[in-house]
Every structure is written in C-alpha cells, then in structure tokens.
Structure 1
Amino acid sequence: MSRYSLINFVVCLGFALLASADETVPTFSNDVAKIIHDKCASCHRPESSAPFSLISYRDVQQRAGTIEAVLDMGYMPPWKPVDHGIAFANDRSLSNEETQKIKGWIDAGCPEGDRGKTPDPPQVTEGWILGKPDLVVRMNGTFDIPADGPDIYRSFVFPLDLPQDKWVKAVQLRPRAKSSVHHALFFVDTAGNARKMDGADGQTGIAGMGFLAGLGESNETNTEGGGTILSRLRGERRSADSDDDEAYHVNDGLARGLGGCVPGSTPNLLPGDLAMSLPAGSDIVMQTHFHPSGKAETEQAEIALYFAEQPPSRELMPIMVPPMFGFGANIKIPAGEKNCRVFDRLTLPVATRAIGVGGHAHYVCRELKLTAQLPSGQAKILLHIDDWDLDWQDQYLFAEPIDLPADTVLISELIYDNSAENPENPHHPPQDIRWGRGSTDEMGSITLLAIADDQNGEESLRNAVRRHFINSLIHREPSQLVEMLMQLDDNHDGSLQRSETPPRMKDRVFEFVDADDSGALDESELENVLRLRGWFRR
C-alpha cells in the first residue's frame, strides 16, 4: 500500500470512528428532550408548583447536576405505585433505559445535538396543563392565611350560574396560596346553600367542613327540624338488618364530587365518554385544608373546567374503602407502634369496570394496598404504595379499564409507623394518634373509580357504596359513636367547639345540651345529642 493510500485509509477510518461515536452519544434533541417533556414537564413548567422549568435545552442543561442527583436517589420523577403488572395511563416512572440515557447524556457533557430535530415542547395554555379550558371560574372573594398557627379548614364557593347541565372531564386547581394548600376537594352544590353560608362569620368562605350536610337539599329541609345525618342514621340503625336497597338512600349531595387536588397530583381527562355531572344552576364548593407555611399568603383560587360534548353512557362512582377517609375505621395508632394495620373490605354486587385508583393518608402512614379478590380465587393488586409520602399523592388512571366480576371483594390495607424511627413522624417524641382532620392526626382510605359494566347494575353498585358508608357507623355502640364524633375535635382540647361541629349542631343543639354554657360539647354532652336523636336504645 502506498504512503498516500495509507494516509487516506487512516483519515477515513478516523472519520468513521467519529461518526460512530456521535451516533452512540445521547443528545438532547434526539434522546433526552422527549423523555423530559413526557415525564417531567407536566410539573416543571412555567406557572406550576415545581421550583424550576424543564422545557428548553438551556433549562435542562443548567439543572443537569440536580437531575443526576435526584435520579440516583430515586426521588424523581415522583411515581409511587409498585409494579404488580397493572399499567397506568399517566405513568411518570422512568425505565432503566431512559434513566441510563439521561445519565449518559450528562456524562457526555450535555450535548444539544441538532436543534432543528428537537421535538416541540408540550403546549401549556396560561398555566393550564390540559390546554385551554372550557370555563375558568374564580373563588368568591379572598381569604388570608397567616404565616403560622393551627391548620385551617375552610370551604369556598365558586359561583357558576350555568344555564344548562354540563358534564366534566377534568378539573384543574390554580391556587394563589400554593405553599399553604394541604389539599382541596371539589363538591357540587345544587341548591345554593353554600352561597347562603358564605361569609357568615365575616370572612370569605365557610368555617370548618360541615357544609356537606346541606348539599343538595332544599331550603325547607335545611331548617330546624329537617333531616340530618344523625337522624338518617337513626333510621338506618332500625333497619340495619334489612336487605332492601331503598333503606340505604343517603343525601346525594354527600356523594356528589368533582375530585380534588393534593400535592404531587396532575389533572387528567377521564377516558372514553366518562364525565362527572354538573347540573344547571349549581355551584362548586372547594373544601380546603390549609397548613400555614411560614409566610402569610392570600388565597383566591381559580378552577379550570373541561367539559364533555355529551352525557356519559355510565355513571362514574368513587368507591372509598374504608369510607369517609377512614372516619368510621377506628384508626388509633399508639405511640411507638411500628406496624399498626387498618383493614376494610367491600363486595361488588355486579360486574364492574375499574377506571382508576388513588389513596389518601397523612404522615405516619407507611404503606397502602388495594387488592381485588376475584370469585375465581385470583387476586389482583390494583394499587400498592410501599413508601407512602404525603407530598406525592396522585390519582392513577388505568391504561385500560380492569374488569371485576360480580362478587369481587375489594380489600384495603393501610400500615402506619408511629415510631421514633419514622423520619416523617410529626411528633417528637411519638404520641398516640387517632383519626382527625389535622395534618398531625391521621386518615386512611383508598378510592377506586369505577362504573357498572351494565347500566342495569348502576343502582345496585350505588347502593352497595352507600350501604358500606352507613354500615361503618350504624353498628357502633353509642360510646363508640361519641368517640368517633370526638375525632372532629381538631384542636384536641377534649370538647367540640362550634366551629368544629356540623352546622346543624351549632345553634339549637348547643342551646339544649351545652349544660355548662362553655360554648363547647364534651363527651357527656355529646351523649345527650345522641339521646335527642334517638340513638340510644331504651
């Protein structure tokens, strides 16, 4: 081979090796941008809760060190469900291949690649993740949250004045007081009762959480002497052994919800033609839990609504196990207990299709699991989180609906760690913890979003959910029910203040049973409430 040919061969080989190396080095445009956009940008974008944006090459390149650190720790992206073979539509987890591709890109010095090949970033309309909303509604008035102090429970009205029925595919909350919002739940008020209660104490909104007792009722049934939760339960207790589904009808307003917003969650459109009912003339009420963050804030939240074009073919039902976030589950976690378990179960009376699932608990919950025990004996784990974190709650939509035959048993299990070894324990040293609405109390429930497989089965499924709620209360002894009512004692002073009780217990009931005129009800006085309502058997 001539010297010229040898030199030419070496040069060509060098260029070939360089080209080969270029093909194996990940670039932002070819490899990393799509991963970041798909798995990170829903939170890391302008006007979102994340501390910085990850949209452009420059955004990601400047945060490369942070990204590598949180990948090594497994902290990001936040995805809690354990893989039991159930596919989720909104899965934000990274595969090992995706993780290695990002880390390889960082190790290579974060090359941008061909800018013209960079995929378009996700479009966000004025901070709304799902694009331009069909309707944006603002909370009626403003509410000031102090820098510190006890947790605040407040409900706010979002006036709608819709002339026609609507069906809601998704809801997104945009709070102003981002640092202080612990969670928010959305309910539909079809009778305008919340508007009447709004501002009764001189501040925007409704104190406490008791407004739910009046949702969906007419003015006549909302007056003294009208039906109340306790009087309804009294009637259910008398017919507790009845198999008649009609015996379990509870005010529909108690169950009429539009979902909620918790830390770490992202809004998702309901699949297919599924949607939630929003009747003409109704309002949205946002039940909000504030946890003061160390800085004073003012809340005037906005809600974006996304509507379906037509009513759904099936009613979407939330099946909460245990119901009412565990209110009736007798949650008591002794100080030092590392393995306190709470179980509940509900049998599906008809063939059901599961659409999505989510859990809720507070700080000392360590693990939660929802299992579907099929009649065949097969067990399907629908949700399992073995490292529960209050800051990363979410709703998980199944990639495909999961068919559950009639007589499937839904079994929930929640495990709490109230030991000093639990770094999330809010009490130092540990204290006994019971069910309560405060951050340092506990709750616990798993909610399955489902539809009856057949339209004829909707009523049976609806009544099974109602019966499950009623049965968590009516079989309690009076002393146990008093103990449960005392769980509403948010400030733990041993009595129920007016602000801690449902609205109908605040006026006439207090006049009759507040024997010591203290403005609060202790346990003995609560027993008198139950006697007035006919709960104690003679």
Structure 2
Amino acid sequence: MRRFAPFLLISALSPSAFSAPPTFNRDIAPILYRHCTACHRPGEVAPFPLLTHRDAAKRARLIASVTQARIMPPWKAEPGHGDFAGERRLTPVEIERIQKWARAGAPEGDPQHRLPLPAFPDGWQLGQPDEVLTMASAVQLPPDGPDQFRCLVLPRNAVSDIFVRGVEFRPGNRRLVHHALVFLDSSGTARKLAAGSQDGSYACFGGPGFRPAGMLAGWAPGATPVLDPPDWAQAIPEGTDVVLQVHYHPTGKRELDQSSLGLTYSTPPTKGRAAITLFNRRIDILPGDPHYVVRASVVVPRDVELFGIAPHAHYLATQMKVDAHLPDGTITPLIWIRDWDFNWQGQYRYKQPLHLPKGTRLALEYVYDNSKNNPHNSADPPVRVTWGEETRNEMAVAFLGVVLPSIADVPSFRREMRLQYLDSLLPTGFSPDDLPTGVQPAAVKGPGGKSTPRTRTVSK
C-alpha cells in the first residue's frame, strides 16, 4: 500500500496546482478586448494601447495593480445597488486571472489561441442620423495645464418642435475628450455666456451655467448609444438650444476639437418624459472635516418608471448613495458609489426601468472629506467649502430620468416637483408654508390621500 502513497498525495492536491499559468492569447486578451481596448487603442483618450501581447506584457504589473484596486476599468457603481446596462466591472475571477498572469511573467501563450483584433465602428453607431449638430468653430486647447470644462451651443435651424429617440455624441478629437454631457437650454442663457468668445465656448466647471430644460445624453469613452422606445422619445421644442458640456484633458501639445452630435428622429411619443433632481444647496464644510454628510429627499407625486441616474459632486465627495423608499416600506437601492472620482463621473442607465409608485421617497446621502488626507483636495491647507459651481465649491446633485404614463402628465409633474425643490432653496429655518398667502404650495398627496413631506434636506 505504501507504494501508492505518492500517487494518493498527488491526487489529493487541487488540479490548479498543476494547471498552466494564464496566457495573453487564451486568457487575458478576451478580458482586455471586452473591457479596456475601447479606450486603450491608438487615437483614443487612454495614454497607451492594450491591443497586443507586447502592449500588455510590458505593463503587466501595472494592469494587475489597477485592476485589483478596481481603479480600472473605470466603473464606480457598486454591485447590488442598481442593475445597469454597459457595466464595465471585472469579475473576481477575471481579476485573479490577471494577477496570476502577471506573476507568471506575462506569457504570450500558443499563437493558435490568438484572437483577431477587435473591430470598432467607424462612423455613427446608430446609423446615419437624421440631423447632425456640429460645433460652429473648433475649440483650441493648450498643451498642458489643468483639465478644462467648456460649454458650447450647437447651432440649429429648427422651425418646429422635433422628437428624438437616439442621441449620439461623436468626439472630434478622441485624444482630448474625456467625457461630455448634452443639455437643453430654453432660456437663452448659454448663448449669452458664449457671446464674444472666439470659439463660441465658455468655461463651465460644475454645471452648464443655466437651469437645464432637460438632459439629452451623456458620453464617456467606451459608452454605447441606445435608441429609446418611440413611445417615450424626447422633445426638443422650437427655440430650445442644444448645449454641449465637454471635459477636455490636455495631451502635451496644442490640439483642436470640433465634436458633433447626431440626432435620430422619432414619431411623437405617447408617454411623458421628465427629470427629477435631488439636491441640497445647504453645504458648508469646515476645513479639516473628514466626514461631512449631506442629505436630501423628494417624494414622487405620481407613478413613474425610472430609466437612468447621474450623480454629481466635485472633488471633496467620497461616497454617494441614492435609495428609493417605497410606500410599502421596502427600500430599493438605486446607486452607491464608494469611491467617487470627479474625473470618472457618468450617467448610469438601468437594464430595465424601475417602477416607482406614487409616494415613493427618493433619498440622497453624500459624504465629503475636507481634510488634508483627501488626495483630491486641491486646497493645502484645507479651506471652508460651500455650495457653488466653481472648482473651489461643492455640489450635491443627482439627476434621475423618468417616464410618465402620458405626455399630458408632464406639466403637472414638473410643477409638483418644483414645489418640492423650493424647500431646498429657502433659507435654513424657513419652509414653503412661510410664503405669503396665495403662493403657498399644497402638500404632495401620498397613497390614500395622506399628506407627505415635500422635501427633507439635512446636512451635518
């Protein structure tokens, strides 16, 4: 029996103890092609390509480090807090596979396992748009210095309202463009802010400089545009400006960008589309405070379908959480970002819209670190920080896109939401009930006709 002992010992060991290490061709290339090469390829915003074994092998330890720390690929939403389309999060198995490959010396593997290089669309991903809006002039960026945020009005010659179900941003210079947001401006403010500038743009770090009449779309490298169902296409009324907010990252040399936006038309929708804005302007963070909490909430005044969410803050924010407290007492997590990074903000779209019944309370909680231990804190030593749109300020905002049963529901829905927003805009200690007679808003009615709080905003 003793002569079988070595065999029994070997059989008891895990098969992985004798398995070959992962190779680039068989194991690593599929991960990189699926999650990384949309940005890490020539002409894109990433600083180096990851298309070949040579590209990846010389950076194997770096790739292993940033993927293990979940710095790359950039996906900030935590699992279990919203089921989002286009998720770029690596699985634990994929991360461990990269670790083993790097430790083994980054072997290339059998050439027969080599995958063809990924193909990327050259042109409009949604097909030829019905209308293309292009920057009137190219924006010129300096070779170095801090990132820049520029807003531009895209010229349109509309003579009537239009409806769009597809919006596709096409960067003119992918090396420069970090991300972009597309707003609607019905006030004419953006045109005034851009007047007199050589390229038709104006600086807009925090927000676009006006109260948006809507948000059309957002773009970041690797994002895939989608076509909305025709029954909830978005309206662009006659006289409304389309405004781009673009985040530019200098490349080390002078560069130009002249980006475009493609619009896919739709028939008039049958359902209404609107936005809910969760925000709290009562921000006053003392220098050195490592855990400043801002809260806000609103009550949904009627049944809606939630299709997307976009959290926003500046450099001091560290955590963001938004939940839906349903009338039956259950809590649905909408998003949780544990390591907010202003440079990697984005829009998150749910795989399937979430039903939020009338009376649902949407609650926001953001955490800020104004201490010297926050690597994103630009002030040394830290200084007092209050609400505002400049770099030195902070914000606490979440934009939520919703669909209503009919177009006729939109005006009253927006009016009911504005009444709740008013509470956040009044001085501390005041409420809408303190307004003069004749302008006091009624409480929002929840299930069963019971009054529910209009807005709860607390910061501490």
- Cα contact 1:363–1:389 (8 A) shared by 2: yes
Q: Aligned equivalents of 2:119 and 2:18: distance in 1?
A: 27
TM-score between both structures, scaled by the size of structure 1: 0.65
Q: Aligned equivalents of 2:336 and 2:55: distance in 1?
A: 34
Structure 1 position 66 matched with structure 2 position 62:
yes
What's the counterpart of residue 94 of structure 1? 90
What's the counterpart of residue 99 of structure 2? 103
How high is the sequence identity, in percent, across the aligned residues? 30
Q: Secondary structure at 2:272's aligned position in 1?
A: coil
Code of the aligned partner of 1:462? R
What's the counterpart of residue 403 of structure 1? 355
**Displacement of 1:167 after TM fit?**
0.5
Q: Classify 1:44/1:375 alpha carbon distance in 2 versus 1 (closer, same or farther; 3 Å).
A: same
Q: Secondary structure at 1:118's aligned position in 2?
A: coil
**Displacement of 1:450 after TM fit?**
1.7
- Cα contact 1:184–1:261 (8 A) shared by 2: yes
What's the counterpart of residue 38 of structure 1? 34
Residues 129-528 of structure 1 aligned to structure 2 (within 5 Å): 130=125, 134=129, 136-145=132-141, 154-161=150-157, 165-174=162-171, 176=173, 184-188=180-184, 193=188, 197=192, 200-201=195-196, 203-205=198-200, 207=202, 254-261=212-219, 266-269=223-226, 271-273=228-230, 274-279=232-237, 283-287=241-245, 297=254, 299-307=256-264, 309-322=266-279, 326=280, 329-453=281-405, 457-473=409-425, 475-476=426-427
Q: Secondary structure at 2:378's aligned position in 1?
A: coil
After superposition, give the CA deviation of every residue in 1:106-132 in whole Å (9 maximum; x if it has no partner): 437433445477266142315x6x465
**Displacement of 1:95 after TM fit?**
0.8
- Cα contact 1:369–1:385 (8 A) shared by 2: yes
Q: Aligned equivalents of 2:385 and 2:22: distance in 1?
A: 50
Greater shift, 77-86 or 104-113, is seen at 104-113
Q: Aligned equivalents of 2:138 and 2:255: distance in 1?
A: 7
Q: Classify 1:91/1:418 alpha carbon distance in 2 versus 1 (closer, same or farther; 3 Å).
A: same
After superposition, give the CA deviation of every residue in 1:22-54 in whole Å (9 maximum; x if it has no partner): 986544454433322222223223322111223
Q: Please report the RMSD computed on the Cα atoms of aligned residues, expressed in angstroms.
A: 3.9
Q: Aligned equivalents of 2:190 and 2:306: distance in 1?
A: 35
- Where does structure 2 lack aligned partners over 5 or more consecutive residues? 1-15, 432-460
Code of the aligned partner of 1:321? L
After superposition, give the CA deviation of every residue in 1:456-495 in whole Å (9 maximum; x if it has no partner): 644443333333334433x338999xxxxxxxxxxxxxxx
**Displacement of 1:92 after TM fit?**
0.7
Q: Aligned equivalents of 1:212 and 1:448: distance in 2?
A: 19
Code of the aligned partner of 2:214? R
Q: Secondary structure at 2:68's aligned position in 1?
A: helix
Q: Secondary structure at 1:391's aligned position in 2?
A: helix
Code of the aligned partner of 2:273? L
Q: Aligned equivalents of 2:413 and 2:384: distance in 1?
A: 37
Q: Secondary structure at 1:91's aligned position in 2?
A: coil
**Displacement of 1:97 after TM fit?**
1.4
After superposition, give the CA deviation of every residue in 1:156-178 in whole Å (9 maximum; x if it has no partner): 22223357724042332525496
**Displacement of 1:100 after TM fit?**
2.3
Larger Rg: 1
Code of the aligned partner of 1:159? P
Q: Aligned equivalents of 1:208 and 1:25: distance in 2?
A: 51
Q: Classify 1:471/1:206 alpha carbon distance in 2 versus 1 (closer, same or farther; 3 Å).
A: farther
Q: Classify 1:259/1:409 alpha carbon distance in 2 versus 1 (closer, same or farther; 3 Å).
A: same
Return the structure number with greater strand share. Answer: 2
Code of the aligned partner of 2:303? A
**Displacement of 1:384 after TM fit?**
0.8
Q: Secondary structure at 1:305's aligned position in 2?
A: strand
Q: Aligned equivalents of 1:56 and 1:206: distance in 2?
A: 39
What's the counterpart of residue 228 of structure 1? none
- Cα contact 1:360–1:443 (8 A) shared by 2: yes
Code of the aligned partner of 1:49? V
Q: Classify 1:80/1:284 alpha carbon distance in 2 versus 1 (closer, same or farther; 3 Å).
A: same
Q: Secondary structure at 2:388's aligned position in 1?
A: coil
Code of the aligned partner of 2:88? R
After superposition, give the CA deviation of every residue in 1:431-454 in whole Å (9 maximum; x if it has no partner): 001122222321121122221256
After superposition, give the CA deviation of every residue in 1:80-104 in whole Å (9 maximum; x if it has no partner): 1222353221111111112223334
Q: Secondary structure at 2:343's aligned position in 1?
A: coil
Q: Aligned equivalents of 2:106 and 2:428: distance in 1?
A: 68
After superposition, give the CA deviation of every residue in 1:315-367 in whole Å (9 maximum; x if it has no partner): 33232211xxx4xx221111111121111111011122111222111111111
Greater shift, 159-168 or 361-370, is seen at 159-168
